[in-house]
Structure 1
Amino acid sequence: MKRLVILGGGTAGTMVANKLRRRLPLSEWRITVIDRDSRHLYQPGLLFVPFGGREDLRKPRRQLLRRGIRLLTGEIAEVDPVAKDVHLADGEILRYDYLVVATGTGPRPDQTPGMLGPEWHRSIHDFYTYDGACALREALQGFTGGRLVVHVVDQPIKCPVAPLEFTFLAEAFFRHREMRDQVELVYVTPLDGAFTKPIAARHLGRLLDERKIRLETDFMVERVDAERKTLVSYDEREVGYDLLVTIPLNMGADFVASSGLGDELNYVPVDKHTLQSTAYPDVFAVGDANDIPTSKAGSVAHFASDVFVENFLQYVDGAPMTHSFDGHSNCFIETGDGKGLLIDFNYDTEPLPGRFPLGWLGPLSLLRETRANHWGKVAFRWIYWHVLLPGRWLPLPAAMSMKGKVRQ
């Protein structure tokens, strides 16, 4: 009996487990998923919670995994990649033949001096956690005016467009409450523009200008002075705030570092095309848990998992892995007022204008605000629960296509 252990039951871990369960015979394989809790969180929905969203975003993990997949709930203490053991905090040890790390990434406010403390979830907020998004909802309801600063500590972060989406939605939120002239909005980023890629940065920067949102670039935060309500950068620039919405430094799971599997941010170094660990050939890392140079986004987890599954089946049969992930990512970007943008890119091609996914037939527009893009993001929730997580086929190829795109 071959043993496959998947660490993490989030987006990538669930998709991979369900896809492989359909392809690997139970008479020959035991598939085990380990996660620290029993409920799966729909993370894209956190963006809407601060603006009044109250739909339950959580479902039982057991309900989302196919029959025949074993689910263990517990904290992962360490992995011994030489002995091929997984040690849980309660003392249980699991042996594996193949290991998939899918424990994702998460915010670490403790890594920025002054961020955690008495003002955390009072005047300093995040929305990348369920509790944080709910606390921010109450703060926005009670906000009577002043300077609201949206701040990104550093890249990479989970869903890199989410801070921009929050900023656009906040602008619309205050405008609809007829208090926009009482709120100064500032977007603070360590990047030299609104986004990592120049064409998309120009489009998004223009939207910030149109909405009179100040853009503060190249800001590498050194500390948060919570008493003075001020962000302080390493070059001694300061940005004051009345309400701070921050995206803390994102890091992978601590056990990745203690097990000698990760880099300085606890991400597993892998071959960016096969997702195989560069140090241990029987270890793979999928979703946000690896160090591939593309967005830490659900679409990447989806497209990469399709490639990974095919490669993994070849690998366990002793054959060369012939499939290659190209870094394909696409993201809907909410811009407020029931509209949104869409970007589609990979390792080699930045987001370009045009149409998606059926070439010039569209029906969605790239790098242009449309209502169709907004409804595409809304529809994604149903697709996520009923198609992606169960590992069902979705008619979008894993490799990025240039059909419908316009090079500038």
Structure 2
Amino acid sequence: MRNLVILGGGTAGTMIANKLRHRLARTEWHITVVDRDDEHHYQPGYLFVPFGGCSPEQVVRSRHSFLPDGVDFVIGSVDMVNAEGNVVLLEDGRQLPYDQLVIATGTTPRPDQTPGMLGLEWRRSIFDFYTLEGAEALADALSRFDGGRLVVHITEMPIKCPVAPLEFTFLADAWLRGRGLRDRVELVYVTPLDGAFTKPVASAHLGGMLDERKVLVETDFMVERIDDEQKMLVSYDEREIPFDLLVTIPLNMGADFVARSGLGDELNYVPVDKHTQLSRKFDNIFAIGDASDIPASKAGSVAHFSVEIFVDNFLQHIAGRAMTGAFDGHANCFVESGDDKALLIDFNYDTEPLTGKYPLPVVGPLELLKETRVNHLGKLAFRWIYWNVLLPGRPVPLPALMSMAGKHPATQREKQEA
């Protein structure tokens, strides 16, 4: 009997367990999923919690309930991976030997990595929404906020769902307008990037949306510390940005055991081949989803599309054959823009977000790089798809690799603006 151990029962880990359990003979392969608890969080739902659009009960379910029969679920924290000995060591002393290992432990916000972030103002005037606890605390703070300087801040890239800070800013603008408070609030967007987003065409488009909403944008801002006494962001080049209410996205990092195991980079992400997700150091270790260092968005869509490519590659790999699938970094992200509208961006390693229709040429029904109510409804519908189709590993009628059908390159004007 051979052992497949999957570290992480989140999006990627759960999908892999479901798909491979149906493809691997039970008489030949034992599959184990390890996670620190039995709570699976639908993380895109965090965005709506501060504005009352999603309840905590809608974003948390049991991890175990989404794993198929024939998969062991182990609750425990990983101490380290002994890659030379092919064994996972848990903090309580248990040992899990493996023939193949998949690291799918994601990425988490680390407010402890920025001086002053976890000071006296944490969860008083400084909040995050990348955790359920943070989103709930922010909801309470917003209910009491009646004016002042609201700053949305990204510490450093990469982060989970890189469009979420923009979405929060757009939703905050709409929420404030709906309560007659917008004229009493200075809304500021602070980013380490040189524009609103990582991809130039999308950055120009999204930056224009911020301008339309009279959001002040501070670019190239590398935060050195937060002065919680003065309520001020301070950059390495000594720029200062005051705030009354700060909504920050802390530094995101991979799991600490990755560093202890000698498997990660400076941010604890596992270096892998960007097309196969196979470790660059060990031939029996893969890293999937947010846990890897691939140059793609750390988003659920990337986990989904990469898992589709990974499964067939994995079966070829364990059979001693060359892996023929090549993941292209495909990502698509809904961007909530407020007032029950959203836009959709679709891109990969090499291709900028394009205009056009998705997923079907001409028909759509979703519009790319355009705000529509249908896109907003698509984002809301995705929660049901996530719980009922994606996690159980059921087929999703979308190509894993980016398709150019029904899409159009950026116009010359868009390129010049970018």
TM-score range, shorter chain: over 0.9
User: What RMSD over aligned residues (CA atoms) do the two structures have, in Å?
Assistant: 0.6
Residues 281-333 of structure 1, C-alpha deviations (whole Å, 9 max, x = no match): 10000010000001000000000000000000001111110011000000000
Instruction: Say yes or no: does 1:173 pair with 2:175.
Output: yes
Matches within 5 A, 1:138-153: 138-153=140-155
SS of aligned partner of 1:275 = coil
Contact 2:328 2:401 in 1 (8 A): yes
Distance 1:103 1:197 in 2: 26
Distance 1:117 1:181 in 2: 30
Residues 237-276 of structure 1, C-alpha deviations (whole Å, 9 max, x = no match): 1100000000000000000001000000000000000000
In the alignment, which residue of structure 2 is the partner of 1:390? 392
In the alignment, which residue of structure 2 is the partner of 1:310? 312
Q: Which runs of 5+ in 1 are unaligned?
A: none
In the alignment, which residue of structure 1 is the partner of 2:196? 194
Q: 1:253 aligns with which of 238, 252, 255?
A: 255
In the alignment, which residue of structure 1 is the partner of 2:416? none
Instruction: Say yes or no: does 1:44 pair with 2:44.
Output: yes
- Matched residue type, 1:30: H
In the alignment, which residue of structure 2 is the partner of 1:29? 29
Matches within 5 A, 1:107-122: 107-122=109-124
In the alignment, which residue of structure 1 is the partner of 2:16? 16
In the alignment, which residue of structure 2 is the partner of 1:360? 362
Aligned length: 408
Q: 1:79 aligns with which of 78, 81, 84?
A: 81
Distance 1:275 1:88 in 2: 24
In the alignment, which residue of structure 1 is the partner of 2:415? none
SS of aligned partner of 1:37 = coil
Q: 2:208 aligns with which of 206, 212, 219?
A: 206
Residues 152-181 of structure 1, C-alpha deviations (whole Å, 9 max, x = no match): 001000000000000000001110011110
Return the offset for 1:55. Answer: 4.6
SS of aligned partner of 1:186 = strand
Residues 194-231 of structure 1, C-alpha deviations (whole Å, 9 max, x = no match): 00111101110111011111111010001000100000
Residues 356-389 of structure 1, C-alpha deviations (whole Å, 9 max, x = no match): 1111221111000000100000000000000000
Distance 1:148 1:54 in 2: 23
Residues 131-165 of structure 1, C-alpha deviations (whole Å, 9 max, x = no match): 00000000000001100000000100000000000
Q: 1:280 aligns with which of 276, 279, 282?
A: 282
Q: 1:377 aligns with which of 345, 355, 379?
A: 379
- Matched residue type, 1:11: T
Between 1:351-360 and 1:340-349, the stretch displaced more is 351-360
- Matched residue type, 1:219: F
Distance 1:240 1:180 in 2: 18
Distance 2:330 2:115 in 1: 35
- Matched residue type, 1:246: T
Residues 340-362 of structure 1, C-alpha deviations (whole Å, 9 max, x = no match): 01000000101111111111221
In the alignment, which residue of structure 2 is the partner of 1:217? 219
Return the offset for 1:54. Answer: 1.7
In the alignment, which residue of structure 2 is the partner of 1:271? 273
Distance 1:219 1:354 in 2: 33
Residues 32-70 of structure 1, C-alpha deviations (whole Å, 9 max, x = no match): 000001110000000000001325111111101011100
Distance 2:6 2:356 in 1: 38
Q: Normalising by structure 2, what TM-score?
A: 0.97
Q: Normalising by structure 1, what TM-score?
A: 0.99
Distance 2:235 2:407 in 1: 38
Distance 2:109 2:39 in 1: 19
Q: Which runs of 5+ in 2 are unaligned?
A: 411-418
Identity of aligned residues (%): 67
In the alignment, which residue of structure 1 is the partner of 2:413? none
Distance 1:362 1:54 in 2: 30
- Matched residue type, 1:284: F
Contact 2:348 2:402 in 1 (8 A): yes
SS of aligned partner of 1:360 = coil
Moved over 4 A (4+): none
Distance 1:313 1:390 in 2: 19
Distance 1:155 1:55 in 2: 27
In the alignment, which residue of structure 2 is the partner of 1:290? 292
SS of aligned partner of 2:362 = helix
Contact 2:56 2:132 in 1 (8 A): no
In the alignment, which residue of structure 2 is the partner of 1:54? 55
Residues 96-122 of structure 1, C-alpha deviations (whole Å, 9 max, x = no match): 000000000010001101001221111
